[in-house]
Amino acid sequence: MNEIRSNLDGQAHWRSALMDNYGTPGLTLVRGEGARVWDADGREYVDLLGGIAVNALGHAHPEVVRAVTEQIATMGHISNLYINPVAVEFAEALLDVAGLAGHGDGEAKGRVLFVNSGAEANEAALKITRRTGRTKVIACEGAFHGRTMGALALTGQPSKREPFEPLVPGVVHVPFGDVDALSSVVDSDTAAVVLEPILGEAGVIPAPDGYLQAAREITRRAGAMLVLDEVQTGFARTGVWFAFQRAGIMPDVITLAKGLGGGLPLGAVIGVGEAGDLLKPGQHGTTFGGNPVCCAAGLAVLRAIARDNLNDHVAALGKDISNGVEELRHPLVSGVRGAGLLIGITLREAVAPAVAKAVERAGYLVNPVAPDAIRLAPPLILTHEQAEGFLDALPAALDSAKKGE
């Protein structure tokens, strides 16, 4: 095996061995600790993207390392032909923090299906909606629900959909945040409305106040499901366990992934009430879903979030970062949006890639999620000092981008 010795060496190996669907990344990251990472040239960075909102406890967190090590040394995989106690324990813990635990009273308020990714979670949710006997599904323009064929049909971004059409039929897209537009298309043929509480891939655009509550009422009146895609917003990312709790509603289906496994591939679907009973034996499955090692990591993350009050930390630090960016009053910055540690910095010019590159040179990794928006989704354990360092470095990076450097 050839050893990668530098960033340039890593790029050469990448180009020769991997498909070109991602292009060729500029950095080869070889090590991480907490919210810091190091590249193949030995440079250190503060990771403000966290594997796209995945590394909830950062890199090499001792509790995740210990949980994964102990589990892989005990039992790595058994499939879903047998009961996996770790998956059962994690499912019960998820239902508890979602406010859906039955507490052994025999009445299931919610049920969990483990999968491997956010796209798979949304695929499973789409199949659940078909079990209602209806086939019309409403999603939003600008939304992102994944790249598999069913999830892609829900995704409201034509540039991602068009190369692979025809997709799953029956999906209608409406403008995000427009209550009247949503109400006008939801009818007795509608199986479900699928929404992101915050449009992550469109530039971190939160739902307007009252929109999720209106969607809940519109779907309830029509006898349709409300499916909330919390792949990016769930699991303490916005300063609460789930964004639907902030809105004060309960959806019928919740999809999760990203931070759920603390860096390991893990997704989940939570069916609330009757929605949790629609899939019958043989109607859906996954070989790796609920893998004991991934669930052990997820349990370690959940327990750390609860023990260390990370929801409160995320809410407070997110406000500090947002306020800090606004207080810079930089002419290139038009605003800050998002919730908790899912933050979008909007720009007056389409120079987000240049800003990201300039910030990288200063030792911080961010994501130019749109031509005029920078996304921050750092580990939930990011420190105030690390956030302040980013705020100190940002003005010079913005100046550099504006000058075209």
| Residue owning tokens 């789409």 | 126
277 is an annotated ligand-binding site residue: no
| DSSP reduced 3-state for 291 | coil
Of 50, 28, 49, nearest to 38 (Cα)? 28
118 is an annotated ligand-binding site residue: yes
54 is an annotated ligand-binding site residue: no
Q: Which residues pair with 32 in a beta bridge?
A: 37
| DSSP reduced 3-state for 110 | strand
288 is an annotated ligand-binding site residue: no
129 is an annotated ligand-binding site residue: no
386 is an annotated ligand-binding site residue: no
What are the counts of helices (DSSP H) followed by strands (DSSP E) for the chain? Answer: 14, 17
366 is an annotated ligand-binding site residue: no
135 is an annotated ligand-binding site residue: no
133 is an annotated ligand-binding site residue: no
230 is an annotated ligand-binding site residue: yes
What is the DSSP code string of 177-190? T-HHHHHHH--TTE
Starting from the edge strand earliest in sequence, which strands make up the sheet with 36-39, in order?
29-33, 36-39, 44-47, 364-365
Cβ-Cβ contacts under 8 Å for 56 (sequence gap 6 or more): 50, 235, 236, 237, 259, 262, 301, 305, 379, 380
**Pairing label, strands 198-199, 205-206:** antiparallel
Binding residues: 118-119, 144, 147, 229-232, 286-287
Binding residues for N(2)-acetyl-L-ornithine: 147, 286
Binding residues for pyridoxal 5'-phosphate: 118-119, 144, 229-232, 287
